[in-house]
């Protein structure tokens, strides 16, 4: 039996659930360690592969021996181990050998036999390259990817850990914004800009509560469709016939049919006090456009960082799945799997359910999963009921938090 | 004994706690009604004084007879009755008579003897004018103001209902943003723009957890002090010596010593009916300035509407006080008080405590309570420990919410 140490890292943009996945990996490895299985110690690398190379490691199996600490880790937003955005060289290229020899030299030195990498698309690329090199150099190590991304754009999985909590934040915040905007009787438009450059999953989430008869934004624009300003104005005009207060959800990545970004708009010509030309985001650009066209009150709200770090409002479904997926990664590696990613497959039937499976990383890396056609309406200005019903189970359940002095407790790994 | 009907309205900007105060007024009036006291029915006016004049009323004492509905009302953000921004004419002016005769004609017609108005500074102005006119026209009506404002800038009270929940949102969100920004090792600045045109209470709240040893923004700039760009750059330079990731909290209302707004380039120039300028863009302006000076990664986050409507994260201290203050308003009116506002007075001693008092509205309307000198450091770039310790009790406690299908339940008053 292969016996040795394990190491785990986090990479890419932070999410509110990435530490729940880390906790799952720790829980899975602790089981192995306690049962005298193939894993001896679990290390954590700081700042992903960067910290791995510099040996900035901590011993997680010692640090998180207590259940309570794992619970706090599970409600701590952003990568507790720190992150990086390093893309690995292609192992087939001649010049890459030095890099990989350094990595595998460390593996040998520390008897690292299990390598877990939690991240999005770019991190799956890292998993793919490390496992390819492992085969080339004949060193036995099990490399497993553990997905996370609020963008939900990973191929091969029903949805990604981290997305459900971001979606819950967006659904709840949109309910609140709709209430806030409804208090006055004057004509007004509020444009809410959501994250998502290529895929519109997060923007679509603002409409989820419509599945249960709750209010939703009046218009929803995803980057999967070209944005047309005149069609947008016409849609607003029509909605104004029903009520004076309109709320519109838009993806940051909206583009016109010619491929230019809606947010690239220089149409305002405004400059700030320092004389800098004002580069507006998508929401701001639309705010100015609506103001000019309708002359009514317009506000744009860019939801920004809280979408990925608002760990005070976690989807219990998402956190439970994130932990399970981390545990499954540890278990799969212990059982001999390598070069793969743990994915969620939704089970058939009325009731929401899922199973975990192990997918070859080469089938999923470097691809983008878009919102499918049947989830976007014909006018390209809203999501369908099928979309809301599909996403609803992912925001269900509230994680019970441990609070201290008015704020949730967080873990800091020094 | 004066016997008649009561009416309540909400005015000014929404908060996450304004409906808890409304619930308090309803609870207080229901007690009177059930005990056969001086109040017969409690009406609610839609959209404040505007809906009052148009007789868009609902009967709240019938609508909220069930405890569960009051609980849901208490967790519903934004004014459930709708709001308005109407400034009443000066009752001493000749031309104002027609307006007031219309108002008092309705009072007589419907035997309205108790008038409650929940709002901020501008609403206290309404209370002052109505009670002044009541004396002039010899109609017995008890007019009571019930304060709310996330800005916490009302004179005569220790703090305002609604502020504690906004402060909790800000403190918690800042903890999350600090975690999020700490994951990379590269030099970066994140500027977080908070609401507050004149008073810096909300921006100060981002640092509250420092009182209990938690992280806080590296720099905090309040509108009580003139902003100096060179001093700001020097402060950043100094902080960079300690760590690469800096987080700065700034008030939307920051001004340079010459009185120009830091975000001046981004404002529309529009003013509301009270003459307030619409501001936005302080964070963006600083983002560009830092980028130019330091050439590092810079991001600005305008926290925007969620500051006043994020009812999914309520301070239990704030909500309990908001309810109590509404009940006290009803009780005070029943006992014969008029022309006043219910205020919070903090009790002496180690343990946080408060008592409610009835303050003459003329002493509080149209004034602004600023963050005092002892709460701002000498360099004008941070709040003091005394400030954090003072604000800490206001964010303590989490309101237990009623959830349904992944989002908190809300009340809609049709």
Rounded-to-integer distance, Cα B369 and Cα B180, Å: 33
Do β-strands B188-194 and B142-147 pair in parallel, antiparallel, or remain unpaired?
Answer: unpaired
Q: A256 and A227 in contact (C-beta within 8 Å)?
A: yes
Rounded-to-integer distance, Cα A180 and Cα A187, Å: 14
Q: What is the pLDDT of residue B39?
A: 98
Q: What is the pLDDT of residue A280?
A: 61
Q: B149 and B197 in contact (C-beta within 8 Å)?
A: no
On the 0-12 / 13-18 / 19+ scale of CB atoms within 10 A, B161 is: buried
The shortest CB-CB distance from A406 to any of B76, B168, B301 is to B168
Q: How confident is residue A269, by pLDDT bands cut at 50, 70 and 90?
A: very low
CA B266, B269, B274, B280: dihedral to nearest 10 degrees?
0
Q: What is the pLDDT of residue B1?
A: 83
Q: What is the pLDDT of residue B280?
A: 52
Per-residue pLDDT of chain B (414 residues; tens, 9 = 90+): 899 999 999 999 899 999 999 999 999 999 999 999 999 999 999 999 999 999 999 999 999 999 999 999 999 999 999 999 888 999 989 899 999 999 999 999 999 999 999 998 888 899 999 999 999 998 999 999 999 999 999 999 999 999 999 999 999 999 999 999 999 999 999 999 999 999 999 999 999 999 999 999 999 999 999 999 999 999 999 999 999 999 999 999 999 999 999 986 544 444 444 444 444 589 989 998 999 999 999 999 999 999 999 999 999 999 999 999 999 999 999 999 999 999 999 999 989 999 999 999 888 878 899 999 999 999 999 999 999 999 999 999 999 999 999 999 999 998
What tens digit of pLDDT does each residue of A286-308 get?
Answer: 998 999 999 999 999 999 999 99
Complex ipTM: 0.95
Rounded-to-integer distance, Cα A234 and Cα A75, Å: 44
Rounded-to-integer distance, Cα B39 and Cα B401, Å: 31
* Chain centre distance of CA B191: 23
Q: What is the pLDDT of residue B267?
A: 44
Rounded-to-integer distance, Cα B201 and Cα B223, Å: 10
Rounded-to-integer distance, Cα A305 and Cα A243, Å: 31
Partners of B142 in beta bridges: B114
| CB contact (8 A) between residue A273 and residue B264 | yes
Contacts of A302 in chain B (CB under 8 A): 301-302, 304
Q: Which residues contact A295 (CB under 8 A, 6 or more apart)?
A: none
Which residue out of A85, A119, A180 would a mutagenesis test of the B interface target, given it has the greatest number of B Cβ atoms within 10 Å?
A180
Partners of B345 in beta bridges: B355
Q: What integer best gives the mean pLDDT of chain A?
A: 94
Which residue out of B77, B183, B397 would a mutagenesis test of the A interface target, given it has the greatest number of A Cβ atoms within 10 Å?
B183
What are the structural domains, with CATH classification, of chain A? 4-162+310-366+400-408 (3.40.50.450), 167-308 (3.40.50.460)
* Strand residues in B83-228 grouped as ranges (E): 112-119, 142-147, 188-194, 219-221
Q: A50 and A84 in contact (C-beta within 8 Å)?
A: yes
| CB contact (8 A) between residue B82 and residue A403 | no
Q: What is the pLDDT of residue B274?
A: 47
Rounded-to-integer distance, Cα A297 and Cα A51, Å: 49
Q: What is the pLDDT of residue B265?
A: 56
Give the pair of three-digit tokens for residue A409: 């407790």
Rounded-to-integer distance, Cα A333 and Cα A115, Å: 9
Q: How many CB atoms lie within 10 A of CB B72?
A: 20
Q: Which of A59-73, A121-135, A187-201 is the least confident region?
A: A121-135
What tens digit of pLDDT does each residue of A96-128 get?
Answer: 999 999 999 999 999 999 999 999 888 889 999
Rounded-to-integer distance, Cα A147 and Cα A156, Å: 11
- Which residue is closest to A181 within chain B, CA to CA? B78
Q: Is the pLDDT of residue A279 over 90?
A: no
* Strand residues in A212-333 grouped as ranges (E): 219-221, 245-251, 297-302
């Amino acid at each position: 039996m292969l016996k040795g140490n394990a190491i785990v890292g986090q990479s890419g943009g932070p999410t509110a659930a990435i530490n729940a996945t880390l906790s799952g990996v720790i829980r899975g490895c602790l089981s192995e360690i306690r049962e005298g299985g193939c894993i001896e110690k679990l290390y954590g690398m700081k700042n992903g592969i960067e910290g791995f190379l510099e040996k900035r490691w901590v011993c997680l199996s010692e640090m998180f021996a207590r259940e309570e600490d794992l619970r706090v880790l599970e409600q701590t937003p952003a990568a507790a181990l720190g992150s990086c955005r390093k893309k690995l060289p292609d192992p087939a290229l001649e010049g890459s050998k030095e890099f990989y020899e350094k990595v595998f030299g460390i593996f040998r030195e520390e008897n690292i036999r299990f390598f877990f990498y939690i991240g999005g698309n770019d991190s799956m690329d890292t998993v793919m390259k490390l496992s390819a090199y492992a085969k080339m150099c004949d060193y036995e190590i099990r490399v497993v990817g553990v997905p996370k991304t609020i963008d939900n754009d990973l191929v091969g999985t029903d949805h990604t850990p981290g997305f459900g909590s971001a979606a819950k934040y967006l659904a709840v915040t949109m309910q609140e914004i709709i209430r806030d905007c409804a208090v006055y009787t004057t004509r007004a438009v509020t444009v809410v800009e959501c994250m998502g450059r290529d895929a519109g999953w997060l923007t679509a989430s603002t409409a989820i509560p419509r599945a249960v008869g709750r209010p939703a934004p009046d218009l929803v624009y995803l980057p999967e469709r070209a944005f047309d300003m005149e069609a947008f104005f016409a849609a607003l005009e029509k909605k104004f016939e029903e009520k004076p207060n309109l709320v519109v959800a838009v993806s940051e990545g909206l583009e016109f049919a010619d491929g230019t970004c809606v947010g690239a708009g220089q149409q305002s010509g405004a400059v700030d006090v320092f004389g800098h030309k004002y580069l507006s985001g998508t929401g701001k650009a639309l705010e100015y456009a609506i103001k000019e066209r309708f002359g009514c009150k317009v506000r744009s709200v860019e939801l920004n960082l809280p979408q990925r770090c608002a760990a005070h409002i976690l989807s219990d479904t998402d956190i439970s799945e994130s932990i399970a997926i981390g545990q499954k990664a540890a278990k799969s590696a212990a059982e001999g799997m390598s070069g793969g990613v743990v994915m969620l497959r939704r089970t058939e039937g009325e009731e929401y359910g899922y199973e975990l499976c192990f997918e070859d990383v080469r089938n999923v890396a470097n691809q983008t999963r878009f919102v499918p056609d049947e989830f976007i309406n014909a006018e390209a200005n809203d999501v369908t009921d099928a979309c809301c019903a599909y996403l609803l189970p992912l925001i269900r359940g509230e994680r019970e938090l441990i609070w201290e002095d008015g704020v949730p407790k967080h873990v800091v790994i020094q």
